[in-house]
């Protein structure tokens, strides 16, 4: 059984990883259609001996697709999702456009796979930092009962797309050659700097990115009373986000039990030998499926608290990989069309 798959936003960093992961993970692709803007139409994309021509996205692009993964931004998701669903195509959306919609399941397959059955044509992928944080939080929630957490993110420039990568590289090169550093993507120099500003600020002083950790965490975990405070920081790292978390739980915590819970969870890898210099780092978790969790210790402020560190590839678990895992979940549970194209 094979499916007709589409990727909207195929020329972007996430779109390119989607192509790679669909084939590397042996998803049953019968036909792949790559969609993008008029500007990219006609370009050729190649992967492992296969090639495709980019098509300009239109409402007619989805009529014979089984699944289309949207990764072109919220405005494009809103513009094309209804047409895709009307054609019978399931949309897996990487943008924030539908995450807060009560009719749209927000899925991390290792955490809430059963929610996928409730879809009405659209399934949302969570924010990258939320997905990575939950790879550490969820197994601890199962062990101790999560009440609240405080998070500080260390977000790589690839979270801004190819332009963020280019800006960091260009600024680093200019600095090494004693030339002026140009800024375009970020409000300040990112090379050799930290910017506590990801997404737009709201009236209460938090950014939209920071509030995603609260709202999306509540929805995915099914914890309506979950309390979260988050500070999001852009750091001069090319790929993979890291998150420092202090979490408070309903039941007494144990570091040994916490380590066991992490080690047994399929979405995480325990890397927690600080005395040997072993803890998760972005260089070690770029293009890696599980997220690394380490630096686990009793929190010195929260009564039933644990402090820990999570690192994960935000292009993978925070976007492309999670989307492909959702597609695989649909396939495994028989939730795609009854008569898939290309079988």
The residues, ordered by sequence, that sit 6+ positions from 57 with a Cβ below 8 Å of its Cβ are 8, 35, 36, 37, 72, 76, 80
Instruction: Write down the pTM of the prediction.
Output: 0.94
Residue ranges in the chain whose pLDDT is less than 70: 338-343
341 among known catalytic residues: no
The whole-number pLDDT of residue 60 equals 96
The whole-number pLDDT of residue 102 equals 96
> Phi first, then psi: what are they for 223, rounded to 5°?
-115, 90
The whole-number pLDDT of residue 113 equals 98
DSSP 219-275: HHHT-TT-EEEEEEEE-S-SS-EEEEEEEEESS---HHHHHHHHHT-TTEEE--BGG
For domain 129-314, give the CATH superfamily: Dihydrodipicolinate Reductase; domain 2 (3.30.360.10)
Distances 199 to 23, 195, 196, 231, 333 between C-alpha atoms, Å: 32, 11, 10, 11, 36
> Which H or E run includes 84?
helix 74-86
128 among known catalytic residues: yes
Q: What is the pLDDT of residues 250-303, one digit of tens each?
A: 999 999 999 999 999 999 999 999 999 999 999 999 999 999 999 999 999 999
Q: What does the domain layout of the chain look like in residue ranges?
A: 3-97+319-332, 129-314
Q: What is the pLDDT of residues 259-274, one digit of tens each?
A: 999 999 999 999 999 9
DSSP-based three-state secondary structure for 113: helix
Order of all β-strands in the sheet with 55-56: 55-56, 29-36, 3-8, 67-70, 90-93, 122-124
Catalytic residue, chosen from 128, 230, 232, 291, is 128
Encode 199-229: b = buried (16+ Cβ within 10 Å), e = exposed.
eeeeeeebbebbbbbbbbbbbbbebeebebe
Please give the class, per CATH, of domain 3-97+319-332: alpha beta
247 backbone φψ class: left, alpha, beta (φ>0; ψ -120 to 50) = beta
Catalytic residue, chosen from 119, 141, 215, 241, is 241
């Amino acid at each position: 059984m094979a499916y007709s798959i589409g990727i909207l936003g195929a020329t972007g960093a996430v779109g390119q990883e989607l192509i790679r992961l669909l084939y590397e993970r042996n998803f049953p692709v019968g036909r792949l259609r790559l969609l993008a803007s008029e500007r990219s139409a006609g370009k050729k994309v190649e992967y492992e001996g296969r090639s495709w021509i980019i098509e300009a996205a239109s409402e007619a692009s989805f009529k014979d697709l089984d699944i289309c993964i949207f990764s072109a931004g919220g405005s494009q998701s809103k513009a094309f999702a209804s047409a895709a669903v009307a054609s019978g195509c399931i949309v897996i959306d990487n943008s924030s456009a539908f995450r807060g919609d009560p009719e749209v399941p927000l899925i991390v397959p290792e955490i809430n796979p059963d929610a996928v059955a409730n879809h009405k044509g659209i399934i949302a992928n969570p924010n990258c930092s939320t997905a990575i944080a939950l790879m550490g939080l969820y197994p601890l929630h199962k062990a101790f009962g999560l009440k609240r957490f405080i998070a500080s993110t260390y977000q790589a420039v690839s979270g801004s797309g190819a332009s963020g990568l280019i800006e960091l590289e260009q600024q680093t090169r200019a600095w090494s050659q004693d030339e002026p550093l140009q800024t375009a993507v970020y409000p300040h120099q990112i090379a050799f700097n930290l910017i506590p500003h990801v997404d737009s600020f709201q009236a209460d002083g938090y950014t939209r990115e920071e509030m995603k950790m609260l709202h999306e965490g509540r929805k995915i975990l099914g914890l309506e009373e979950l309390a979260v405070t988050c500070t999001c920081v852009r750091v001069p790292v090319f790929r993979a986000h890291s998150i420092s978390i202090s979490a408070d739980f309903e039941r007494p915590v144990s570091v040994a039990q916490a380590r066991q819970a992490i080690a047994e969870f399929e979405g995480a890898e325990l890397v927690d030998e600080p005395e040997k210099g072993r803890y998760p780092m972005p260089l070690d978790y770029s293009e890696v499926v599980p997220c690394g969790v380490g630096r686990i210790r009793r929190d010195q402020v929260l009564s039933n608290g644990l402090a820990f560190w999570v690192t994960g590839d935000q292009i993978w678990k925070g976007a492309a990989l999670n989307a492909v895992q959702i597609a695989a979940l649909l396939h495994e549970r028989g939730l795609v069309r009854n008569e898939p194209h290309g079988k």
